[in-house]
Amino acid sequence: MMSKDSFFSNFKSILLAIFIALIIRSFLAEPFNIPSGSMKPNLLEGDFIFVSKWSYGYSRHSLPFSLKLIPKKIFSSIPKRGDVVVFKNPKDNRTDYIKRVIGIPGDKIRVINGQIEINGNLIIKKITTPFIDKRNNENTRKRKYLEYFFDKEIEVLDLYDWGINTPDNTKLFIVEEDKIFVMGDNRDNSSDSRMIGQIPIKNLVGKAQFIFFSLENSRFYEIWKWPKSIRFDRIFKSIQ
C-alpha cells in the first residue's frame, strides 16, 4: 500500500511535469496537426508539425485556451513574406489556421489571373510536374506551379482556370498596420485573407518549423494502421 509521503511525492512530480509541459507549449514550441489540404503540396492532411512560439513574440494566444494573462503582444516582431504561420482566425479568435505570409504592413496586394501582385510587381510562376494527390487509396493529378516568391521558390497548386469571380482575381488590398495578409499554397482551396480578411499580428501563435510525424489516411490513435500509414519520407522535413 502506498504511503502518504509517497503519494504526495508522486503528486508533486506529476504537477511539476505538467507545469514544465505548459511552459514548453506556451513559450517554446507546440505541436499541431494539419487537418485540411489548404497548404498542399507542402503540407498534407495527417502531417504533425512543431511551431516555434518565440518567433513573433507572445500574446494571449500563446497560452493554452488563449487565456487572457498576457494583455498585449510582447517581444513582437513582424513575420517575413513567405513564412508559414499558425494563427487564430480573427472571426472567432479560437480556431487555429495555418497559411503563408504574402504581405506585411504597408504592402499593396492583389491577385490577377492567378498571379500575385505585390506593390506593383507580379510574382512570376511557371508550371511544373503535376502533384499526385493520394487520398482514400486514389491518386489524382493536380496542376502544380513553382512560384518565385522573393528569395524563395514555393510549390503551389492552382487547380482551376481563372475567372472574374474566383479567388484568382481580387480587389486591391492594402495591408494595415499591425496586420499581415496570408494565403494557402493550395490557392483554389483555401479560406484565407482573400475571404476572412487580414490577420492581426497579435493573433499569431508561431512559425511552422518542421514535420515531426506524418500519417496517410489514418488517425493518430489508430496505431494498428501505422506500419502502412506512416510517411517516413516526411518525418523531420523542414517547412519552407
Catalytic residue among 40, 53, 99, 144: 99
Exposure string of 40-75, with b = 16+ CB inside 10 Å and e = fewer, is bbbbbbbbbbbbbbebbbbbbbbbeebeeebeebee
Q: Examine the residue annotation and report whether 38 is marked as an active-site residue of this protein.
A: yes
- Cis amide prior to 41 (ω within 30 degrees): yes
204-214/125-127 β-pairing: unpaired
Catalytic residue among 38, 59, 193, 214: 38
Q: Examine the residue annotation and report whether 229 is marked as an active-site residue of this protein.
A: no
Kindly state the helix (H) or strand (E) to which residue 189 belongs, with its residue range: none
Contact 156, 125 (CB under 8 A): yes
- In single-letter form, the type of residue at position 223 comes to I
The catalytic residue positions are 38, 99
